[in-house]
Structure 1
Amino acid sequence: MEYTIGKGARCAVIGHGSWATAIVKVLCENESRVGWYVRNPEVLESLRTRGRNPRYLRDAEFDPSRIAPSGDLNEVIREADILILATPSAYLKKFLEPLTASFDGKFVISAIKGIVPDDYTTIVEYLHTRYDLPYDRLGIVTGPSHAEEVALERLSYLTVVSTDLMNARRIGEKLSTPYIKLSYSTDLYGVEYATVLKNIYAMAVGMAVGLGYGDNFLAVLISNSAREMDRYLSESHPAERNTCASAYLGDLLVTCYSVYSRNRRLGLLIGHGCTVKSALNEMTMVAEGYFAADCIRHVNTRHRVEMPIAEMVYDVLYRGVAVRRAMEALIEKLV
């Protein structure tokens, strides 16, 4: 029997970064109270006393009566029916370390656009394997959307993914606002891998910009990235999907050209001549694409899909290949 989300389901968010903060802001438009697990004591205290996150999206103000921030993960999980994970993927295990409460009866959503680095799995795959969560109780919330624009209430589109469209729509009701429009999908595999791949391609675009390539070349690089993504999804997990939809192509485009894109910025620093190590040290937030490049190469040893752009990024990040030489070699493979 498939799991069905009840109409009065209570929501909680795990994480206190920019995307977690933006999601809580959106949920507060529709929910009387939103649970919120916050590991950082400074952030927790500020949310409780001033209704602000002092580290991320500092201009976003919360009504203290509408949020329930807590440093107790198990308390937050016990009080919620829908859990939205919005931590950097590299820290997910750390966030869930104190977990003793059960996920039984919960619907767990990943709003994380990355992979679990040591396990070479997506977040949904990890939750399914590690916590024995069936896929009908797992979902995804994805863009194209940057937390900064959501916090500013600029028009944004989200895609909610679930194996059951009714559950997806129930979640969508909690996220719908005048500035958030919703679409729905059942493609758990395709949408999640698209969110991983687009971070890799955004780094490639950043590298190209840093090296001085112009708009003409960037158009070719991004269109080839879209085809590479489609090829990977089609060959690794054949299904009926439209990769021109917002959750695939739209998210790829915004991550490749937006000034808010962390992955584009990491690539830009490398293209400007920073070493990979120094570029990572310059970043104030996690660039998921760094881990994704290693993961996709590892996973692709099973599928053997031709992925010259992802391979180029991997060569620069992990093999020490000079970025200019790597880009020049890639140019000959683009159409």
Structure 2
Amino acid sequence: MSEQTSSIPGRVGILGGGSWATALAKIVLTRQPHLNWLLRSTNHVKEFTRLKHNPSYLTSVTFDLSKITFFTDSDVNDFFRSCDTVILATPSPYIRYYLKRVRNSVIRPKLIINAIKGMVPEENVLISDYLQEYKELRPGQIAVIAGPCHAEEIAKDRVSYLTVGCFDMGKAKVLSEELFSNDFVHCAVSRDVVGIEYSAVLKNIYAIAAGICHGLNLGDNFQSVLISNAIAEMSNFVSTVHLVSRDVTESVYLGDLLVTAYSSFSRNRTFGNMIGKGYSVRAAQMEMNMVAEGYYAAKCIHLINLRYQVNMPICRTVYEILYEGAPVEASIRRLSTLFK
């Protein structure tokens, strides 16, 4: 191990209190002796401490609280000071709220792992770009963790696959081995930070499309063609915005798309299914009471693609349905005429 990577991961923290953050905490604590964990409120911490599990998400997963130090919103700078490596795992609409409150002098020396499958909505930028532009981090200090890995299956110790992407491959390998690999999680490594981030954003939009089509009772044959076209669309866009050598059939790209589009655990598919059945966007959001990242992603990608002009009929259709009130059935029918 090089001198540069010998101190990694050091003291590890997770920012976020949802199901994905809870699943990541379970994974990390199979490899690390201690975890700093920032939750939203004092009440959340009190309930977690009383129950020994997250009171709202993955309640079957219990934790040894002697291995956890909790922080809350008001402690965000203290939380970052207490960590060498921080995993960002809050829903994308909230990440700007946290990062704006962290002093650049506090976050600048840290290694940041993005586990958010979304973008910063206000700026329409990837998390890695936001960290470099607004928080002054160097590319080698930024990593991403993604893959076909539902939190609900991590809770049941089901075999799962993740990929750590980092501009510094030495750090990627250490993070894979020391944080994210255990008896039920296999973790690969990659340099394709930008491609992984964009793919994680896009697959949520395609999952909404799959859910809409399910809600319209279009059947499995149609779904297979939808997803075949979705991976081609994803590949075209990611290759246009970040041209590097990648195999989109790897699990971090295609695998994550498939599980998000097909699984009953997918909140984006669930959200789309409700839209397909006639719910308004607002009604679907209120009934779910969880963040469907693809809703925000649809607008972000639409605005970014105004610059690149990639042909993205699936993303465009989802955007028009969610943000412009386009008729659902007619929009999907029109989309179907473009499929190969």
Question: Shared topology, TM-score over 0.5?
Answer: yes
Equivalent residue letter for 1:290: Y
The count of corresponding residues between Structure 1 and Structure 2 is 334
1:114 corresponds, among 103, 110, 118, to 118
Contact 2:8–2:175, Cα closer than 8 Å, also in 1? no
Q: 1:171 aligns with which of 149, 168, 175?
A: 175
Tell me, in whole angstroms, the C-alpha distance in 2 between the residues paired with 1:16 and 1:59: 15
What residue number does 2:190 align with? 185
From 303, 309, 314, the counterpart of 2:308: 303
Pairing of 1:1-335 with structure 2 (within 5 A) = 4=5, 6-7=7-8, 9-71=10-72, 72-100=75-103, 102-173=106-177, 174-335=179-340
Letter paired with 1:14 = L
Farther-moved stretch of structure 1 (250-259 vs 271-280): 271-280
Amino acid at match of 2:132: H
Displacement of 1:229: 0.3
Provide the C-alpha distance between the structure 1 equivalents of 2:158 and 2:246, rounded to a whole number of angstroms.
28
Q: CA deviation at 1:3?
A: 5.8
Give the partner amino acid of 1:13: I
Q: CA deviation at 1:90?
A: 0.2
Q: Is the contact made by 2:108 and 2:135 (CA closer than 8 Å) also made in structure 1?
A: no
What is the rounded CA distance, in whole Å, between the counterparts of 1:272 and 1:109 in structure 2? Answer: 37
Following the alignment from structure 1 to structure 2, what is the Cα–Cα distance between the partners of residues 264 and 135? 33
Distance of 1:110 and 1:88 partners within structure 2: 11
Percent sequence identity over matched residues? 41
Aligned-pair CA distance for 1:280:
1.6
CA–CA distance in 2 between the matches of 1:285 and 1:8?
A: 31
Summarize deviations over 1:228-263 as a string: whole Å, max 9, x none.
000111122211011110110000000000111011
Cα distance in 1 between the residues matched to 2:5 and 2:70: 27
Partner of 1:166: helix, strand, or coil?
helix
Mapped partners of 1:179, 1:132: distance in 2 = 36
Deviations 1:248-294 (A, max 9, x none): 00000000001110110111000001112211221221000001001
Listed one character per residue, the Cα deviations across residues 186-215 of structure 1 (whole Å, up to 9, x for unaligned) are 001111000000000000000000001011
Letter in 2 for 1:322: P
Q: CA deviation at 1:46?
A: 2.3
CA deviation after TM superposition for structure 1 residue 9, in Å: 1.2
Provide the TM-score with structure 2 as the length reference.
0.95
Task: Flag structure 1 segments of 5+ consecutive residues without an equivalent.
Answer: none
Partners of 1:5 and 1:151 lie apart in 2 by: 31
Alignment check: 8 A CA contact 1:4 1:167 kept: yes
Tell me by how many angstroms 1:110 deviates. Answer: 0.5
Q: Secondary structure at the match of 2:70?
A: strand
Question: Partners in 2 of 1:296 and 1:57 — Cα distance?
Answer: 30
1:30 CA displacement:
1.3
Shift of 1:7: 4.5
Structure 1 residue 42 displacement after superposition: 2.2
Letter in 2 for 1:96: L
Partner SS state of residue 54, structure 1: coil
Q: Judge conservation of contact 2:203–2:260 (CA < 8 Å) in 1.
A: yes
Structure 1 vs Structure 2 CA RMSD? 1.4
- Given residue 68 of structure 2, which amino acid in structure 1 is its aligned partner? I
2:34 partner amino acid: R
Q: What letter is aligned with 2:54?
A: N
C-alpha contact 1:3 1:136 (8 A) present in aligned 2: no
Supply the distance in 1 between the matched residues of 2:52 and 2:100 (Cα, whole angstroms): 26
1:5 shift after superposition: 5.7
Query: How has the CA–CA distance of structure 1 residues 8 and 324 changed in structure 2, closer, same or farther, with 3 Å as cutoff?
Result: closer
Q: Is the 8 A contact 1:255 1:263 kept in 2?
A: yes
TM-score where L is the length of structure 1: 0.97
